[in-house]
C-alpha cells in the first residue's frame, strides 16, 4: 500500500485532534497553528489529487483492514481530492483574510475556541468528501451542523443568536429527513457501504421490487440535504446566517458548508443509486424545477434587500439553484457543470464575504447601500476585489461564472427537448437579474457624488495589510484560473466522475 493512501484519513484525524488541541492554546497561537495545519493538509490533498489523477483510478482505504461488507471505508478519487483541495484553499484564505474582523468580533479569551470549532468543521468537511459509508456521512453531517452553529454564534450579538436558532431548526429538520432516508435505504439494501448498497439497489430495481420505497428514500434524502444547503423554498434563513456572522464564518458557511451537503448528495446519486436509476426517478425532475425556481427567487429577493450582506447571501440561494438544476438534469454533463459551479461559487462567494465588511468598515460600520456610496474609493483594494467577484457572479468571460454558465448550457443542449429551452431562458433571466443587483452595487460603491452618508465617518481604520490582500488575491486568481483554464478543471471532474464506479 503506497503511503499516500493514508493521507485522506490523516486529514480527518489531524483536524479532529487539532480541534481538541486548539482549546488548550492561546488565541493567536491557535490561529497560527490552524493556518499551518491547513497548509499541511493542502499539501497532502494535492498529493492525493496528483496520485489519483496520474494513476487514473481511485483507491479504497478500509479502516482496520476489515473486508468490504463489514468495515468502514474511505475512498479517494480525483474528484473527492479536487473538492477537498478547493475546500481547504477557501478555508485557509477565509481564515487569514477574515482575521482582522475575527479579532474585533470575537472576545479575546474565546478566539482559541473559535479555531477549535473551525478545525472540527474542517474535519467534517474532509470526512464528508472522503467517506464511502453512508452512515459515517450522516454522523459528519451532524457534526458539520453543530460546528456551523458554533461559528455562527461566535459573534455574540442578538441577531446571530436568533439566526442560529432558525438555522439550526431548519438544519435539524433536514438531518431528521436525511437520517430517515438513510435508515430506509439500509433496510432495503442491508448495507451501509456505498458499493454493496449500489449492487443491492440495482438488483432490486431490475427485479422491479421496492421501487416505491427506494424513490421515497431518495426523495427524503434529497429534500433533507436540500433544506440544509438552502434549496428553494428553504432559503429564507440565508441573509441572517451568512450576513450576520463574522466574515470568516460567513465565507465558510456560504461557500463550503452548503456545498459539502450537495457533494454528499452527488456522491449518493452516483455511487449509491446510480445515474440510470436516478434519471428514472421523479425526484430528479422535482429537483430540476426547484433549482430553476431557486435561481429566480433567490435573485428576486436579492434585488429587494437594502443591505449588501443580505444581497450577497440571497445570491447564494440563486447559485445553489444553479447547482441543483444541474443535478436535476440527470446527465453526466449536468453533474460536471454542477460540480464546476460548486468550485467557482466557493471561490467567488468567499471573496465577496471578505470584501463587504471592509467596505462597511470605511462607511461608518454600516452595510446599508446608501452608506456604502463611494466606499470603493475609501477602500480601494476591497472595492476592486468586490468588483472582480461581482463580474464573476454575473458571468463575464474570463471569470469562473462565465465558464459554469457555458457548461450548464452545454449540459442543457445535451439533454435537448423542453428542458433545453427552460434552462436557456432561466440562465438568461437569471443573468439579467444578477446584472441588476451586482452591477448596481458596483456602480454604487464607485459613485462619489450624492453620497447620503447619514453617520459621519468617524475614522478610517488603518490601511489593509498583506494578510488581507493576499488571500483575496489568491481567491481572485483561483477564480480567473477556473475561468481561463476551465478545461483543466472539467477534465479532472470528468475523470473523477468516471472513477465513481
Partner 1 sequence: MIHNLLSNYVEAGAIVLFGIGFTMLLFHKNLIKKLIGMNIMDTGVFLFLASMGYISGRKAPIIANGVTDMEAYINPVPAGLVLTGIVVSVSVTAVMLALSVRLYKRYHTLDLDDVYALSVHINEDR
Q: Which residues bind partner 1 (CB under 8 A)?
A: 135, 138-139, 142, 145-146, 149-150, 153, 157-159, 161-162, 164-166, 168-169, 172-173, 175-177, 179-180, 183, 186-187, 192, 244, 307, 360, 365-368
Q: Helices 380-394 & 400-415, crossing angle to 10 degrees?
A: 10
Distance in Å, CB of 170 to partner 1, minimum:
9
- State yes or no: cis peptide before 40, omega within 30 of 0: no
Q: Cβ of residue 65: shortest distance to partner 1, in angstroms?
A: 19
The string of DSSP codes covering 214-267 is HHHHHHHHHHHHHHHHT-TTS-TTHHHHHHHS-HHHHHHIIIIIHHHHHHHHHH
Spatial separation of the C-alpha atoms in residues 428 and 430, rounded to whole Å: 6
**Is 28 exposed, middle or buried (CB count within 10 Å of its CB: 0-12, 13-18, 19+)?**
middle
Distance separating alpha carbons of residues 266 and 493, to the nearest angstrom? 12
**Shortest Å distance, C-beta 366 to partner 1:** 7
- Which set of grid coordinates corresponds to residue 77? 478519487
Q: Decide whether 192 or 337 has the Cβ nearer to partner 1.
A: 192
d(CA 174, CA 366): 34
Residue 466: CB partners within 8 Å, gap ≥ 6? none
Which cell goes with 6? 493514508
Chain-centre distance of CA 391, in angstroms? Answer: 19
In this structure, what C-alpha cell is assigned to residue 430? 437569471
User: Which residue number, 45 or 220, has a Cβ lying nearer to partner 1?
Assistant: 220
Q: Between 172 and 303, name the residue whose CB sits nearer to partner 1.
A: 172
Q: How far is the CB of 311 from partner 1 (least distance, A)?
A: 14
Q: How far apart are CA 158 and CA 155, in angstroms?
A: 9
Choice between 182 and 492, CB closer to partner 1 = 182
- Residues whose CB falls within 8 Å of the CB of residue 317, separated by 6 or more in sequence, listed in order: 230, 232, 235, 238, 294, 297, 298, 301, 302
Shortest CB 144 distance to partner 1, Å:
12
Residue number, 2 or 67, with CB nearest to partner 1: 67
Cα angle: 488, vertex 265, 494; to 5 degrees: 20
Nearer to partner 1, 323 or 360 (CB): 360
Q: How far is the CB of 468 from partner 1 (least distance, A)?
A: 20
State the minimum distance, in angstroms, from the CB of residue 360 to partner 1: 8
CB atoms within 10 A of CB 449: 6
Nearest to partner 1 of 180, 384 (CB atom)? 180
Which of 241, 479 has the CB closer to partner 1? Answer: 241
Q: How far is the CB of 495 from partner 1 (least distance, A)?
A: 34
Cβ distance to partner 1 smaller for residue 166 or 444: 166
Which of residues 92 and 144 has its CB atom nearest to partner 1 in the complex? 144
Helix (H) or strand (E) holding 75: strand 72-76
Q: Least distance (Å) from partner 1 to the CB of residue 184?
A: 8
- Candidates 292, 274, 296; CA nearest to 329 is 292
Report, in Å, the least distance between residue 257 CB and partner 1: 16
- Are 76 and 61 in contact by the 8 Å Cβ rule? The answer is yes
State the CB neighbour count (10 A cutoff) for residue 379. 23
Amino acid at each position: 500500500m503506497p503511503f499516500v493512501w493514508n493521507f485522506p484519513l490523516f486529514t480527518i484525524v489531524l483536524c479532529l485532534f487539532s480541534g481538541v488541541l486548539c482549546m488548550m492554546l492561546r488565541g493567536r497561537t491557535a490561529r497560527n497553528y490552524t493556518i499551518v495545519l491547513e497548509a499541511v493538509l493542502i499539501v497532502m490533498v494535492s498529493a492525493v489529487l496528483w496520485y489519483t489523477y496520474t494513476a487514473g483510478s481511485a483507491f479504497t482505504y478500509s479502516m482496520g483492514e476489515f473486508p468490504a461488507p463489514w468495515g468502514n471505508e474511505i475512498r479517494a478519487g480525483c474528484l473527492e481530492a479536487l473538492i477537498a483541495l478547493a475546500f481547504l484553499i477557501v478555508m485557509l484564505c477565509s481564515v487569514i483574510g477574515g482575521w482582522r474582523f475575527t479579532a474585533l468580533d470575537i472576545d479575546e479569551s474565546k478566539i482559541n475556541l473559535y479555531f477549535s470549532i473551525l478545525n472540527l468543521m474542517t474535519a467534517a468537511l474532509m470526512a464528508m468528501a472522503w467517506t464511502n459509508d453512508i452512515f459515517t456521512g450522516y454522523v459528519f453531517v451532524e457534526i458539520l451542523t453543530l460546528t456551523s452553529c458554533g461559528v455562527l454564534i461566535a459573534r455574540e450579538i442578538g441577531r446571530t443568536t436568533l439566526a442560529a436558532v432558525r438555522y439550526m431548526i431548519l438544519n435539524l429538520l433536514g438531518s431528521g429527513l436525511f437520517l430517515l432516508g438513510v435508515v430506509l435505504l439500509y433496510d432495503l439494501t442491508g448495507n451501509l457501504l456505498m458499493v454493496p448498497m449500489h449492487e443491492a439497489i440495482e438488483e432490486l430495481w431490475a427485479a422491479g421490487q421496492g421501487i416505491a420505497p427506494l424513490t421515497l428514500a431518495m426523495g427524503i434524502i434529497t429534500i433533507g440535504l436540500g433544506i440544509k444547503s438552502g434549496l428553494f423554498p428553504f432559503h429564507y434563513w440565508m441573509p441572517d446566517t451568512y450576513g450576520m456572522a463574522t466574515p470568516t464564518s460567513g465565507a465558510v458557511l456560504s461557500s463550503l458548508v452548503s456545498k459539502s451537503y450537495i457533494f454528499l448528495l452527488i456522491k449518493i446519486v452516483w455511487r449509491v443509486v446510480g445515474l440510470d436509476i436516478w434519471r428514472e426517478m421523479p425526484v430528479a425532475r422535482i429537483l430540476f424545477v426547484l433549482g430553476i425556481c431557486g435561481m429566480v427567487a433567490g435573485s428576486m429577493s436579492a434585488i429587494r434587500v437594502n443591505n449588501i450582506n443580505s444581497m450577497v447571501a440571497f445570491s447564494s440561494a440563486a447559485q445553489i439553484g444553479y447547482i441543483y438544476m444541474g443535478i436535476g438534469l440527470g446527465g453526466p454533463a449536468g453533474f460536471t457543470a454542477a460540480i464546476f459551479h460548486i468550485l467557482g461559487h466557493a471561490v467567488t462567494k468567499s471573496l465577496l464575504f471578505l470584501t463587504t465588511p471592509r467596505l462597511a468598515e470605511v462607511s461608518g460600520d454600516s452595510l446599508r447601500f446608501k452608506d456604502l456610496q463611494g466606499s470603493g474609493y475609501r477602500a480601494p483594494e476591497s472595492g476592486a476585489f468586490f468588483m472582480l467577484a461581482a463580474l464573476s457572479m454575473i458571468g463575464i468571460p474570463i471569470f469562473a461564472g462565465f465558464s459554469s454558465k457555458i457548461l450548464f448550457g452545454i449540459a442543457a443542449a445535451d439533454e435537448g427537448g423542453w428542458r433545453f429551452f427552460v434552462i436557456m431562458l432561466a440562465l438568461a433571466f437569471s443573468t439579467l437579474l444578477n446584472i441588476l443587483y451586482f452591477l448596481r452595487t458596483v456602480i454604487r460603491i464607485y459613485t462619489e457624488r450624492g453620497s447620503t452618508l447619514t453617520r459621519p465617518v468617524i475614522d478610517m481604520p488603518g490601511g489593509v495589510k498583506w494578510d488581507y490582500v493576499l488571500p483575496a488575491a489568491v481567491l481572485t486568481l483561483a477564480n480567473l484560473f477556473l475561468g481561463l483554464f476551465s478545461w483543466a478543471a472539467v477534465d479532472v471532474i470528468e475523470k473523477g466522475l468516471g472513477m465513481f464506479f
